[in-house]
Amino acid sequence: MAHDDYKEMLPALALSALDAEDALALHEHLSECNECRRELADWENTAASLALSASPAEPSPHVRTRIMNAVRSDKGARTQEASRVVPFPKNPRAVWTSFGQVGAIAAAVLFLVLIVWIFVLWQQNRALRRDMDSLMSEFRSVQEDARRSQEFLAILSSPGAKVAPLRGNGPGAGANAQLVYDSSGYAMLRANDLPPTPAGKEYQLWFIVGNNPPIPGGTFTPDDIGRAELTDRVPARALNSAVFAVTLEPTGGSRAPTSAVYLRSTL
C-alpha cells in the first residue's frame, strides 16, 4: 500500500471508523512514519474542537416573547393558589443556553456526517483503483501475449524456418507444444496444458542429436492453466537433425536430464 493510501485513511481512524484489517495496517505504518503521526494528531484535535466549539444560538425576539407571555399567563391563572405555586426561576439565560447546546450538538453531528461521507468516498475510490489496477494488469498481459505471438509468427515466416511439434509423453500426457526456429537457430517454444511445477522445479528444454548426450536448453515455468513460452537458441549441430524434449528439473536447470520426458518431438 502506498504512503498516500495511508494518509487517506487518517480521517477515518480519527473517528474510529476503520475496519480491523485497515486499522492494523495503518497502525503498523504509523509506527514508522512521523509525518502520518503528526497528521493523525491534527485530525483528532480537529474532531474534538469542532464538536465543542459551536457558538450558542439565540432564538428570535418573537419566539422569546411567546415563551414569556405563556409563562405570565400560566402564572396569572394560578394566583388563587399562590401558596402552592413554585416561583418561576428568574434566569432566562438558561433557556438560551439550552438552545446553544442544541446548536453545538447539531454542529458535531454535521461534522460526523461529513467525515462519514468522506470515508465512504475514500472506500469507493480505493475500490475503483483496485479495479483499474486489475484492468491494467489484464491489458499488459494481453499486450505481452500479442507481442509474443507476433514474434512467433515472425520466426515462422522467416526464410528457412522450421517447426517441430512436441507431444505429451508419460507424466505430460495431454500436453503439447511447438518449437519454431530460423536458420540462425533463434527459437521460440510455446507449450500448453503442462502439469503445474512442484516447488523447487522448472521445465527444461533439451536438444538431442543422434546418440550423443542431450544438450541442455533454457528453463521455464507454466502459468496457472499450463501455458508457457520460452525463447532459446538451437545449437548449430542440432539445426538440421535433432529431437527436442522437455523434462522436469530442479530450478535453474540441470546439465543432464533427471526426470521422465514430458514433451518430445520426432525426427
pLDDT at 200: 96
Q: Is 11 helix (H, G, I), strand (E, B) or coil?
A: helix
Residue 196 pLDDT level (bands cut at 50, 70, 90): very high
pLDDT at 241: 84
Q: Are 236 and 210 in contact (CB under 8 A)?
A: no
pTM of the model: 0.51
What class does CATH assign to 162-264?
mainly beta
pLDDT at 151: 84
Q: Does residue 239 have a pLDDT over 60?
A: yes
The CA R_g of the chain, rounded to the nearest whole Å, is 39
Residue 80 pLDDT level (bands cut at 50, 70, 90): low
Average confidence (pLDDT) over 238-248: 94
Q: In the chain, pLDDT over 90 holds for what percent of residues?
A: 39
All three cell numbers of 105, joined, read 450538538
Average confidence (pLDDT) over 114-122: 86
Average confidence (pLDDT) over 202-214: 96
The full set of domain ranges for the chain reads 3-52, 61-139, 162-264
Residue in 206, 189, 183 with CA at minimum distance from that of residue 152: 189
Distance CA 111, CA 46 (A): 10
